[in-house]
Amino acid sequence: MWCKRAAVALFLLVLEIESCFTEAQGPINSGNFPKGFVFGTASSAYQYEGAVKVDGRGSTVWDTFAHTFGKVIDFSNADVAVDQYHRFLEDIQLLADMGMGAYRFSIAWSRIYPNGTGEINKAGIDHYNNLINALLAKGIQPYVTLYHWDLPQALEDRYNGWLSPQIIKDFANYAETCFQNFGDRVKHWITFNEPHTFAIQGYDVGLQAPGKCSILFHTFCRAGNSATEPYIVAHNTLLAHGTVMDIYTKKYKAKQHGTVGISLDVMWFVPMTNSSEDIAATQRALDFQFGWFMDPIFFGDYPSSMRNRVGNRLPKFSAAEAALVKGSIDFVGINHYTTYYAKKNSTNVVNILLNDSLADSGAITLPFKDGKAIGDRANSIWLYIVPQGIRSLMNYIKQRYGNPPVIITENGMDDPNNPLISVKDALKDQKRIQYHNDYLTNLLASIREDGCDVRGYFVWSLLDNWEWTAGYTSRFGLYFVDYKDNLKRYAKDSVQWFKAFLNSTV
């Protein structure tokens, strides 16, 4: 009971701080941010590289999923994507032209170990060495994600991937191979991208690879257990993360002087009403998304709301496992795009239909209140533009977790891939410019006015790319990719805005 009261009290404190925010003012530029603050763009191997059968790369669960009929909205796949495997020198020049200081990319596990384990694929090592060296030659720091959802299919076939504790050992072996081969130059490592997303989307609702679920009588899925498997996957992911951090700290950190973090997807939530029930539900919504991973890393266990509501379906940490996971980061990566309302789930219909981790929270999250949207919508049906949410989130992290170093590892918005407009018109992306200006303005206020320890900001994304189940229907890029003309890259107006932003110092 004390923990519940404390959680609600904390959330009320953040709401009180939020009510004191003044409207963030613009325009701003990079010179307004603290010295050493990093600006970059983000990408992932499966969404960018293509070349899926080149130089010994093994198959992944996303190769399998994307080639399964009906899983991707436009029936596309990422066999080619934006072909960065072959065009990375061109894309690095685009980064340099903008003045970006960093590039976040992921290494494809199946390029290093085509079967997940076993013999190392030298061609994969050579490719990432070339990419890293090319970035450094242009003065761009590599921020490397070890796992961005593309599990080698061989491990899924062998032992069901993240559902087996064997994955911890195999992931650690892969990670250590990366430290050994790239760690002399890579100083910023991210173990996992959005474990919450791949646990829920892959093992609860089944809408992403490997597509497991048990909801709605297996309408979408051939196998799975939505009530237990997301929790098992998340648990094994946290233990894999802690194991890798332990290896890096003991064997590589003193010599390589790098840092290790994890990137978590986080919506901000605001109560639908001022009722105590909706305020408590809002805290639970945060617990079941963000606290699910942050609490074990900072406190050694899952949030009490999860323990109370999930019961024996939620795995338990042994004392040794809790010690391994607790404190296992040098920085927190935050992928933040949008804000929703939250309210108490006052009906059992959702619980009966789903019987899953989404229903377990007892919270309903929506982007509408009284028929009105919380903000202007981007192209994606889930992405509503609420710039002040990023400031509130930074304050929540500061208050609940003791103000750890934070890097915004993704932030951005998408336009539709509209075949009816010309390339020239598609480059006019004033809405994106406004989005980044407003989110950066609020982020700056969280640093300068609120004292939040934020150290970097990565735009999603450098290029338009293959956006998972949305395929090529969604354009998040600063650069337009012409899918009809040899994947030519064209600078959108937002590129010019970032050039001015990054090259101004006052």
Which domain CATH number covers 113? Answer: 3.20.20.80
Residue 370: per-residue pLDDT: 96
Residue 20: per-residue pLDDT: 72
Residue 212: per-residue pLDDT: 96
Let me know if residue 401 belongs to a domain.
Answer: yes
Let me know if residue 45 belongs to a domain.
Answer: yes
Residue 23: per-residue pLDDT: 62
Between vectors from CA 439 to CA 438 and to CA 441, what angle results, nearest 5°? 65
Backbone dihedral region of 318: left (phi > 0), alpha (psi from -120 to 50 degrees) or beta? Answer: beta
61: buried, middle or exposed (CB in 10 Å: 19+, 13-18, 0-12)? buried
Q: What stretch of H or E contains 422?
A: none
Q: Residues of the chain whose pLDDT is less than 70?
A: 1-16, 19, 22-26, 215-219, 348-355, 505-506
Provide the 8-state DSSP code for 59.
Answer: P
Let me know if residue 150 belongs to a domain.
Answer: yes
Residue 217: per-residue pLDDT: 44
Let me know if residue 64 belongs to a domain.
Answer: yes
Let me know if residue 122 belongs to a domain.
Answer: yes
The dihedrals phi and psi of 161, each to the nearest 5 degrees, come to 55, -120
Domains identified in the chain, total number? 1
Show which residues are catalytic: 194, 410
Residue 166: per-residue pLDDT: 98
Q: Which two tokens stand for residue 369?
A: 């209140």
Residue 354: per-residue pLDDT: 56
Let me know if residue 15 belongs to a domain.
Answer: no
Residue 111: per-residue pLDDT: 98
Let me know if residue 372 belongs to a domain.
Answer: yes
Let me know if residue 235 belongs to a domain.
Answer: yes
Residue 357: per-residue pLDDT: 81
pTM of the model: 0.96
**Alpha helices by DSSP H, 402-490:** 423-426, 430-448
The domain in which residue 161 lies consists of: 34-503
Rounded to 10 deg, the angle between the 229-251 and 292-299 helix axes is: 40
AA identity, residue 216: L
